[in-house]
Each structure stands twice: as structure tokens, then as C-alpha cells.
Structure 1
Amino acid sequence: GTTFVYVTHDQEEALVLSDRIAVFNRGQIEQVGTGRQLYDEPATLFVGRFIGDSTVLRGEARSDGTSTALRIAGETVTAPKRINGQANPVMLLRPEKLAIRRPGQDAANGANRLPGTIAEAIYLGSGSKYEVKLADGSTAIVRSPLTGDSFGLGEPVELCFDGADAKLLADDSAADTTLT
């Protein structure tokens, strides 16, 4: 087998051409793995934000040793994971792991719910991309397949997700100025 190093900033190209990918940040390796590993299990917030779209939720954290609860925008959301000594963890969620429901409608993708408002709605042919503005001012990105539900700008909604899909990561954004 032949090994070669190919440097690119095109994520799609890197995912297609590579068996293993190294993500660098300021000359240091943040994580090495397959494209799937980097996307599904980012080791750092930088990797999670760099590889693919993501929603990052910040809040006050509590852990009971088996799960973590974050107080975000006046609501409590949980993930069945420990903080692992992280003082200020953030919750990273991928757009396809989030669902939008009208207030009071049965939750999809688990019991966690955050109220918000549709800030942007983009029809993509095979589905829709929504940006949901949360009460704390943060924005969540949601990709949903075409279904009977569609949402309009300014419409109040609930963002629903399963805590098992959340990645709890150390909040390294204060040290990272490249993604702000």
C-alpha cells in the first residue's frame, strides 16, 4: 500500500479521498480518524465545529455521575453521559439529530425540548434546512426530510432531540478565535 499526505480545506474532498483524516488547529493535531469518527465522535469542540454543520448549546451544567443536565435558555436538557471533569461543557448536536415540532406536539427524537422561533427556512429538494433561534439568542441548525410538516419564518416551535445524540465537549472556544 501507498501512503500519501494530501492537504485540503475542502471537507467533502477529504471525506471522499481519505481512509484517515487529521484535523489540525494552529499547527497542532486535534484528532485523527475516519471521516465517520470525526463527524460522529469529535474529540474537541474545534473538530465538532470544523467537520460538518453543528449546533453548540451552552449552559450551566450539573452531573450526577451517570448523566449530565444543562440549563439552556431557561430549560433543562439532559444527556446520558458524564462531564468527565469538564468545568464548562458544551453540548454539540448534528442537524440531522434534531427535530422541529409545534409547541405541545409529541416530541420526536427523545424527550429534550427547547422552545425557539424559525429564523430561516430553506427548501433543499430532498428536505429542508431550518435555523431556529433559541431564547438565549443561540441558533440551532436542523435538517429534516420532506414530511407533511413545514414551518414558516417567525413561527414558534420546539426543538426536540435525544440526549444520547448529544456530544458533551470541553468549551475550548475561548482559546479558538478562528471559528468565531
Structure 2
Amino acid sequence: MFLGIDCSGVAASLCLLGSDNHEFYQHSDTPRQADVIFSLLEKLFQDAGITQHDLTAIGVITGPGSFTGIRVGLSLAQGLADGLQIPVYGLDGFSALRGKTENALVVLESKRPELYVQHGTDAPQMLLPDEILHYTGNGEMALLHNLIPPHPLASMLRGQTGNTMAMIAARHALQKFQANSLPEPLNPFYVREADAKSNAI
């Protein structure tokens, strides 16, 4: 079984993916991910009828997003991987949604007026909704995550919202494991250093 973890946004999400592509999910909208993540994990294992020792590899979203949430997700992933001696693979949210779509505009919630944005493989940045519309006015595909009404972009952009980040992380772990890829050190992904400093206070 392959575990996907995402605590980078406004919620905590977990996904278990079996070798037969059967999926199990647990999700909580609480902003205090650390308070619920272990109970979610326990429920996830119960639903799937497994224990942590049945895990083969772990995938985790490394950011951008909430400083505290990112740390919760990375700590859980690394702790499980170290304890079980299994590989863990990190994936940033932009790459998760973009996949193989080279020129997509990926937009992620930031809990600020500005949003996290990456166009293709350009450097990530933070833009206001009006600034983002300049990109999509040229017919760019927009991949949105966690942008729902009443957020203006949810209705103004005719984009695509991908599957949950946790599911994408689980599939990433499956693909990396099957390719015999060596895991790299887990590092949080920040769009700007100020995010970490301001949220750490």
C-alpha cells in the first residue's frame, strides 16, 4: 500500500493506494492539522483493513502553503518512513497539479489576498486575482486547488481542479517506487522565505 499525505493547505488529507489502484481517503477541514492527523491515519488504516507495516512507500506534498501544516505533513511522512524503513518521496504542489501539462497555470490557495502561482516551469510567485487573469486571458489552462466559491477565481477561471493532493502524492510514491527511484531528503517548499518567518512567529 502507498500512503499519500497533504497538510500544506487549509486541511489535512490522507490517501491509501493499493497495487490494484483501490483508494481509501480520510480528510479533515480543521486548520489544526497536528490535532487530527494521527486519528485520521488510524481511521484510514481501519477502513483499508491494514496496519502501518503494510505500507510500501510514502508520498507527501512539500508545499507551498501553511508553514505549520507543511511541517506536520513532512514530520509524519519522515517519522513513518524512518520507523518502517521504507522510502518517502516529496512532491511540491505545483508539480503535483501540473503533471505533464507543460504550459498550465497552477494556482494554489495561500490564505492571503495574493495566491501562489506558477506558469509552466517559470519561477513561482504570488499574484493578485486580477493579475492572474492576464495569463488566462490568453487561453492558458488553469489548474486550481482549494479555490471554491466565493473566491472570485473559482467562477472567473474556466480551469480544471485536479484530484486531491494526497491521492497525487500516493500515486507519485507508487511511480517512484516502481521505477526504483532513490528518495531525496524532504525539504519544505516555500514560494518566499518570508512565509516561513512570518508563520513561525
- TM superposition score category, shorter chain reference: under 0.3
Higher-Rg member (1/2)? 1
TM-score of the pair, normalised by structure 1: 0.26
More strand by share: 1
Q: Using CA pairs below 8 Å that are at least 6 residues apart, which structure has the higher relative contact order?
A: 2
